[in-house]
Amino acid sequence: DVGSQKERVVTEEEWLQKWEMGNIGFHKEQGHPLLQKYMDVLLNGRSGLRIFFPLCGKAVEMKWLADMGHSVVGVEVSEQAVKEFFSEHSLPYCEEPVPEISGAKMFQSTSGNISLYCCSIYDLSSLIVGKFDGVWDRGALVAVNPCDRQRYASLMINLVEKNSSYLLVTVSYDPNKHKGPPFYVPESEIKSLFG
Ligand code: SAH
């Protein structure tokens, strides 16, 4: 029974406030052990991949993959998060407007292998960011408002190449005991969203 979470909405403004207040318990300074564990599944022996980080925050795993020679693209509404990512890794970057999306900015490492779009993920399309060989979805599907899940999944399906790998981390708990995010997304719903 996920009835209690169905109607919940967290606004972009609330996410920005979480960043301002330092209320970011979701951030893992040491990176996620499950990406380490399943790195081979994501890469599948391939090199020079394009990897997408939806709702990226300042996930340190972006640095891991860039250091392994892959090209990383993330999207995050909080400009503070994006700037903290580059400064905490001492990465020089430049910032430029995104002509297709009003108000959006793209922050790119000077080396060119990490590009973070500062806008809502719903503003992106494969025409703007291209398609990806791999996705690391941690704190993303589970952070999306329940009413937006279908739209999110359709967009993600549109953003991946045919032979891509998609690693998804979800959390399992009694949704009556915590209002989320992270939201509880039942396995059956994941199957119907992604097929
Ligand atoms: N994936 C990251 C962050 C998870 S928290 C990690 O593993 O640490 C979810 C993040 O999504 C927050 O940083 C929030 O600011 C961002 N966010 C929320 N809604 C968004 C949207 N519609 N588009 C882009 N980013 C969004």
What pLDDT sits at residue 138?
98
Domains of the chain from N-terminus onward? 30-194 (3.40.50.150)
Which of 139, 103, 113 is closest to 51 using CA atoms? 113
Mean pLDDT for the chain? Answer: 97
Hey, how many other C-beta atoms are within 10 angstroms of the C-beta on 151? 13
Long-range CB contact pairs, 80-84, < 8 A, 24+: 80/16, 80/19, 80/20, 81/19, 81/56, 81/57, 82/58, 82/107, 82/116, 82/118, 83/107, 84/58
Burial of 72 (0-12, 13-18, 19+ CB in 10 A): buried
pLDDT at site 177: 92
Average pLDDT rounded to a whole number, residues 151-173:
97
Q: Tell me the chain's radius of gyration from C-alpha atoms.
A: 16
Nearest residue (by CA) to ligand 1, atom 21, is 120
88 is in an annotated binding site: no
pLDDT in tens, 28-61: 999 999 999 999 999 999 999 999 999 999 999 9
Beta bridge partners of 160: 132
pLDDT given for residue 170 in this prediction = 98
Model pLDDT, residue 10: 98
Helical pair 12-21 and 79-88, crossing angle rounded to 10 deg = 40
- In which band, very low, low, confident or very high, does the pLDDT at 4 lie, cut at 50, 70 and 90? confident
129-157 pLDDT, tens digit per residue, is 999 999 999 999 999 999 999 999 999 99
Closest-CA residue, ligand 1 atom 12, reads 57
Q: Is 68 annotated as a binding residue?
A: no
Ligand 1 near 61 CB (within 6 A): no
pLDDT at 1 over 70: no
Q: Is residue 90 annotated as involved in ligand binding?
A: no
Q: Is 180 in the pocket of ligand 1 (CB under 6 A)?
A: no
CB of 76 within 6 A of ligand 1: the answer is yes
Which atom of ligand 1 has the smallest separation from the CA of 122? 22
User: What confidence tens digit (pLDDT) does each residue in 54-107 have?
Assistant: 999 999 999 999 999 999 999 999 999 999 999 999 999 999 999 999 999 999
Is residue 167 scored above 80 in pLDDT? Answer: yes
**Residue of minimum CA distance from atom 5 in ligand 1:** 139
